[in-house]
C-alpha cells in the first residue's frame, strides 16, 4: 500500500487499532535496540512515518471542524460562492453537493477560501 492510500483512508482507522499500532511501534523499537536487523529498523521507520501522518491528519481535521462549526455568515457565503464557481449539477442538488464538497475540502483549501 502507498502513503497516498493511507492519506485518503487514515480517518477511518478506529482509535483502538491506532493504539495497537502505537504499541507495535514501541515493541519494534525495543526489538531494534536488541537486534540490529535492518528489517526491524525499516519497519519502525515506516510505522513512525505512518503515525506522524495519522496524527497530523487528525489535528487538521479537528482544526477544520472547529473552523466550520464557528463560521460567520460572511465566511459561509464565501464558501458557497467558491463551491458555486465549480458546481455543474442541478439547482435541486446543490445544497447536498455543497455539504459533500465542504466535507471533502482540506484544511489548507478551506483557509485559502476564507482569507
Mean pLDDT of the chain: 79
Q: What is the pLDDT of residue 36?
A: 65
Burial status of residue 110 (CB atoms within 10 A of its CB: 0-12, 13-18, 19 or more): buried
Per-residue pLDDT at 6 exceeds 60: no
What is the model's pTM? Answer: 0.58
Mean pLDDT of 7-18: 65
Higher pLDDT, 9 or 114: 114
End-to-end CA distance of the chain: 36
Q: pLDDT, tens digit, for every residue of 53-108?
A: 888 888 898 999 999 999 999 999 999 999 988 887 777 777 888 888 999 899 99
Residue 92 phi, psi dihedral angles, 5° rounding: -60, -35
Q: pLDDT, tens digit, for every residue of 23-47?
A: 677 777 776 676 666 666 677 777 7
Each domain of the chain, given as residue ranges in start order, spans 1-70, 71-115
Grid coordinates in use for 68?
466550520
Going by pLDDT thresholds of 50, 70 and 90, the confidence category of residue 1 is very low
Q: What is the dihedral of CA 107, 110, 111, 115, to 10 degrees?
A: 180
Amino acid at each position: 500500500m502507498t502513503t497516498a492510500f493511507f492519506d485518503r483512508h487514515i480517518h477511518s482507522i478506529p482509535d483502538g487499532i491506532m493504539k495497537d499500532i502505537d504499541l507495535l511501534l514501541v515493541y519494534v523499537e525495543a526489538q531494534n535496540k536488541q537486534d540490529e536487523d535492518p528489517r526491524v529498523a525499516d519497519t519502525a521507520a515506516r510505522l513512525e512515518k505512518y503515525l506522524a501522518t495519522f496524527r497530523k491528519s487528525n489535528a487538521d481535521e479537528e482544526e477544520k471542524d472547529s473552523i466550520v462549526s464557528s463560521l460567520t455568515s460572511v465566511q459561509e457565503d464565501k464558501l458557497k460562492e467558491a463551491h458555486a464557481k465549480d458546481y455543474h449539477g442541478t439547482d435541486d442538488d446543490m445544497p447536498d453537493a455543497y455539504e459533500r464538497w465542504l466535507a471533502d475540502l482540506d484544511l489548507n483549501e478551506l483557509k485559502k477560501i476564507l482569507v
